[in-house]
Amino acid sequence: MNHVLLTGANGFVGKVLRTKLCGAGYRVTCTVSSEPLLRDGVEHVRLDIRDAAEVEQVVQQLQPTHVVHLAAISHVPTSFRDPLLTWQTNVMGSLNLLEAVKRHVPEAFVLFASSSEVYGEAFKVGEPLDEGSACQPMNPYAASKLAAELAFVQYFRQGLRGVVARPFNHIGPGQSPDFVTASFAKQIAEIERGLQPPVLQVGNLEACRDFLDVRDVCDAYVKLLDLADRPADQRIFNIASGQARKIRELLDELLAQSPVSIAVEQDPQRLRPSDIPFAVGDCRRLQASTGWQPAHALGETLGALLNDWREKAATVR
C-alpha cells in the first residue's frame, strides 16, 4: 500500500490534506511538532523537522513510499521577526528530510510545498507568472522557501523523485486570522455577536491576488503525487486560479453574506510598505500534467470561512 509521510499535518493545509490523502487510499502518517496531538484516528508521530537524527529515525522506521513536506514557518511577519528560526526550519528542516529520504527510502516520491511568494518582485510586471519567471523573493519566508526549492531540485538532479509546488493564496476554515480573509471573517463574526463594535479594520484593499480554496490546493497535491507513477519532465508547478481578485472584492462578498451593517476603516498598521499590487499565477503546466481544475467557487469558500468563524464566536463568553 502507498504510504505517505505528511509533515506539518497539524497546520491549516495539513488538516485538510490528511483527510484527502486517506480518501485517495493512502496510508497516512502525520508528523506533528506540538500539542494538541491529532485525535482523529490518523497515525501520527511527533517530529521536530530541525532535528536531523529524529527525522532520520522517523523516515527509516516508517519507510514511506511518498513524502509531502508541509512543515514550515509559513507566516511572513514571523520570518522577519525570527529569521534564524525560519531558515533553520524551512531550509535545514528540508535538508534533514532530503538526506533521510536519500539514505533510507531513495525510491520515495517527495512533494515539497513551496510558495508563490518566491516570485516576489517579479510580480511587478503585472501579468500572471508561470514557472519560468524569475524568482526574486522579498522577505525571509520567501527566500527560505526558494533556498529549500534549490535543495530539492539539487537532490532531484541526483536521482531523487519528486516535485515542487508553488501554491498561490489559499483560504478556508482553519486559517489563522493573521491572513487577510480569515481576519475579515473573524471580525464580521465577532461584530455579529456584539463582541466588537461594527467597524471592520482593513489593510490595502486594492491589491490583486490569486485566491484558491484550500481544498482545491489539496486536490492539486493529491494529483501531483500521481506523477510518481508516470514519467514527468517537469518538476515545478504553480497551483493557481489564474484569476486576479481585488481584496476589496472578497471583503464585499463577505459583507454581503452578513445581515449586519458594518463600516470599514483602514488601519495604517495593516498596510505593508513593500506590498505588491498584483500577484497572479499561470497554472497551465499543472492543468496539462494532471488535469487539475479548481472545483470551489470563491463565494462558497468565503461562506464556509465565515460560518467557521461564527461557530468560534458563538463559543466566546
Sign of CA dihedral 174, 175, 178, 179: negative
Among positions 148-167, residues that touch ligand A2R (CB under 6 A) are 167
Sign of CA dihedral 228, 5, 65, 55: positive
- Going by the DSSP 8-state scheme, the letter that residue 136 receives in this structure is B
- Nine-digit cell string for 58: 522517523
Preceding omega of 277 cis (within 30 degrees of 0): no
Among positions 239-268, residues that touch ligand A2R (CB under 6 A) are none
Which member of 115, 139, 169, 290 binds ligand A2R (CB under 6 A)?
A: 115
Provide the β-strand partners of residue 68: 6, 111
Which member of 34, 158, 261, 315 binds ligand A2R (CB under 6 A)?
A: 34
User: In the complex, what is the shortest distance from the CB of residue 15 to ligand A2R, in angstroms, rounded to a whole number?
Assistant: 8
Instruction: Give the residue closest to ligand A2R by C-beta.
Output: 11
Which member of 5, 28, 30, 49 binds ligand A2R (CB under 6 A)?
A: 49
Beta strands in 122-275 (DSSP E): 161-167, 170-171, 199-202, 208-209, 212-213, 236-239, 245-246, 263-266
* Segment interacting with ligand A2R (CB under 6 A) among 32-40, 197-205, 223-231, 256-264: 32-40
Residue 190 has φ and ψ, to the nearest 5°, of -75, -35
**Per-residue mark of binding to ligand A2R, 70-109 (x: CB under 6 A):** xxx-x--------------x---x----------------
User: In the complex, what is the shortest distance from the CB of residue 90 to ligand A2R, in angstroms, rounded to a whole number?
Assistant: 7
> Is position 12 an interface residue for ligand A2R (rule: CB under 6 A)?
yes
* Segment interacting with ligand A2R (CB under 6 A) among 67-75, 123-131, 232-240, 266-274: 67-75
| Residue (146 or 191) nearer to ligand A2R, CB | 146
- Nine-digit cell string for 99: 538526506
Q: How far is CA 110 from the centre of its chain?
A: 16
Q: Which residues, 6+ apart, have CB-to-CB distance to 300 below 8 Å?
A: 213
State the residues that interact with ligand A2R by CB under 6 A. Answer: 8, 10-14, 32-34, 47-50, 70-72, 74, 89, 93, 113, 115, 167
